[in-house]
């Protein structure tokens, strides 16, 4: 394992549901990211957290709400999603003070019905 | 912000032949260029990276070249094997604070036995 764990691995939800994706990293990194991966836009950056503060939001709809309670945990709260939001959601972390690689979790495969 | 273009989107080669994937970036301040491999159903994983103070880096059958003047970098895989079949992503990042990696759209490589 790379040290970045995502749960759940698979999620099916209705358009009126509320669910949360969880990401946890055990690498001592201080930056965490949410990426959306779909056939149309591979590896599309959604949110960046550095030292638990959001530093970037790439015009993501408000039905996606991130939360970073500490440097090891990152959540993505989902509310009234659309079928086109179905995708693989990948969490990643890196040591932001050094220009090094990002480590990815295994992703959550989300299907909105 | 940074923009990374990657070509080709798909590539098929015969086993034993070489494969080359090319990327261009827009921000001349970018100084870190990793390559990720994503096998079917798995997370993206780093296979090689290069920093702007180096023009070429090699690791067994994989090599990466960087031309900072032209703002492009390439991945070279020699003596391809069926297990090299995957989606490959290039990325770039500037050294400014906790900026995230910006990814290309990926190249689906198929190695035909």
Adjacency order of strands within the sheet including A73-79: A4-7, A18-25, A73-79, A64-70
Q: What pLDDT does residue B71 have?
A: 96
Residues 3-62 of A with CB under 8 A from B: 30-31, 33, 41-43, 45, 48, 50-51, 55-56
pLDDT at site B50: 95
Q: B46: closest CA among B36, B32, B38?
A: B36
Count Cβ neighbours within 10 Å for each residue of B71-104 and write b for 16 or more, e otherwise.
ebbbbbbeebeeebbbbbbbbbbbeeebbbbbbb
| CB contacts, 8 Å: A45 with chain B | 100, 102-103
The confidence score (pLDDT) of residue B97 equals 63
B9: pLDDT strictly greater than 90: yes
Q: Within an 8 Å CB–CB cutoff, is residue B49 touching chain A?
A: yes
Q: Which residue of A59, A60, A101 is the best one to mutate when testing the B interface, meaning the one whose CB has the most B CBs within 10 A?
A: A101
| Model confidence pLDDT, tens digit, residues A26-82 | 999 989 999 999 988 889 999 998 877 777 777 899 999 999 999 899 999 999 999
State the Cα–Cα distance between residues A96 and A93, nearest whole angstrom. Answer: 9
């Amino acid at each position: 394992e790379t040290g970045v764990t995502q749960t759940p691995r698979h999620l099916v939800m209705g358009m009126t549901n509320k669910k949360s994706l969880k990401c946890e990293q055990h690498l001592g990194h201080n930056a965490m990211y949410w990426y959306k991966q779909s056939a149309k836009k591979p590896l599309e950056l959604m949110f960046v957290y550095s030292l638990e503060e959001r530093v970037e939001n790439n015009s993501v709809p408000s039905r996606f709400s991130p939360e970073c309670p500490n440097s090891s945990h990152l959540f993505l709260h989902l509310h009234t999603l659309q079928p086109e939001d179905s995708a693989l959601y990948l969490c990643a972390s890196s040591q932001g003070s050094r220009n090094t690689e990002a480590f990815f979790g295994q992703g959550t495969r989300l299907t909105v019905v | 912000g940074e923009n990374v273009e990657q070509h080709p989107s798909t590539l098929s080669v015969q086993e034993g032949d070489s494969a080359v994937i090319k990327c261009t970036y827009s921000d001349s301040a970018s100084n870190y260029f990793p390559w990720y491999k994503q096998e079917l159903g798995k997370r993206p994983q780093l296979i090689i990276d290069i920093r702007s103070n180096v023009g070429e880096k090699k690791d067994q059958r994989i090599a990466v070249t960087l031309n900072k003047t032209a703002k492009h970098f390439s991945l070279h895989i020699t003596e391809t094997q069926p297990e090299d079949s995957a989606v490959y992503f290039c990325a770039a990042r500037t050294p400014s604070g906790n900026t995230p990696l910006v990814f290309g759209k990926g190249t689906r490589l198929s190695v035909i036995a």
